Amino acid sequence: MEEAQAQVKVHRISSVVPAIPTERHPMFLSNLDLFWLPINNVQRILFYTISPENQYFSIVESLKKSLSSVLVYFYPLAGRLDKGESVRLEIDCNDSGVEFVEASIDMPFSFLERDGFQYKPLFQNLVPKAHPLQDHSCPRPILSVQVTCFQGEGVSIGTTLHHVIADGNSFWNFMKSWAEAEQDNTRSIEESQKYVQKWLARKTEVTEVVYSTFCFTEENIRALKKQSGAVSSFIAMAAHFWRSVMIAREV
């Protein structure tokens, strides 16, 4: 069929909340975080072939269950971007949930398989619509997920993540955790949480934090600026710091 004729139909929009309620609190956004407000959201699409016995609706319910368990540890994604008491945008970690869209498209999955899932304009309909950045009148979801069923044996999972809370690397850490929790659909919620916690512990190296203070005289700073050719004291100090850290880590 022609790509232009393909229509995406939304059947249901719901919210997936953490399996265990988390403590509500605001998450401060620094000026460096707020820098990303006007930047486009992080949007990704994953395609999966499904066997006939794995029906779309059972897959959706399984995805919701595993997503709910993972959100216990990635709880800010279930919050809302909203104005705080100081009228400054912040993340309200309130367990409002991830926006979950269930949809279908009248297109055979083989249509995309034939050319190796090369980009097509219709892909923009396979990810959740981004909420207007200029509209601060109501809290906005941090993460939205859209699961779209194709004709034949295939589905797509599209995601829209607000760039103010995470970048690409952080996003894929979350997706890997969700995927591992989803691998065994018969695992209980408690077992899924332990599985994700084990993965996070394996990925996160726990070290003791050591605080140190270094003092630089005007002569030290002038020498650094001369050595690096930096135009400002800040750039010279930042470059020296970064270089020292890389040497210390033997990178």
Amino acid at the residue 183: Q
96-139 pLDDT tens trace? 999 999 999 999 999 998 888 888 889 999 999 877 655 555 67
Q: Residues 70-95: what's their mean pLDDT? A: 88
Which residue did the predictor score with more confidence, 168 or 192?
A: 168
| Rounded CA separation 151/106 (Å) | 6
Q: What are phi and psi of 63, to 5 degrees?
A: -65, -40
Average pLDDT over residues 54-62: 86
Confidence at residue 198, expressed as pLDDT on a 0 to 100 scale = 54
**Euclidean distance between CA atoms 181 and 1, whole angstroms:** 36
**pLDDT for position 115:** 83
Residues in the chain: 251
Mean pLDDT of the chain: 83
For residue 227, is pLDDT > 70? yes
The fraction of the chain above a pLDDT of 70, given in percent, is: 81
Q: Which residue has the higher pLDDT, 42 or 168?
A: 42
pLDDT value of residue 184:
55
pLDDT at 192 (0 to 100):
44
Environment class of 82 (CB within 10 Å of its CB; exposed 0-12, middle 13-18, buried 19+): middle
What's the whole-model pTM score? 0.69
pLDDT (0 to 100) of residue 207: 54
- Which amino acid makes up residue 36? W
* CA–CA distance, 172 with 157 (Å, rounded to integer): 14
Residue 30's pLDDT is what? 85
DSSP per-residue string spanning 71-133: TTTSGGGGSEEEE-TTS-EEEEE----EEEEEEEEEEETHHHHTTTS---GGGGGSSPPPPPT
Q: Where are the alpha helices (DSSP H) in the chain?
A: 31-34, 56-70, 110-113, 168-182, 189-203, 218-228, 233-248
Reading the block at residue 110, the tokens are: 């083989």
Q: What is the mean pLDDT of residues 152-181?
A: 88
**pLDDT at residue 147 in the model:** 96
Q: For residue 197, what pLDDT band results from cuts at 50, 70 and 90?
A: low
Per-residue model confidence (pLDDT) at position 88: 82
CA distance 67 to 101: 13
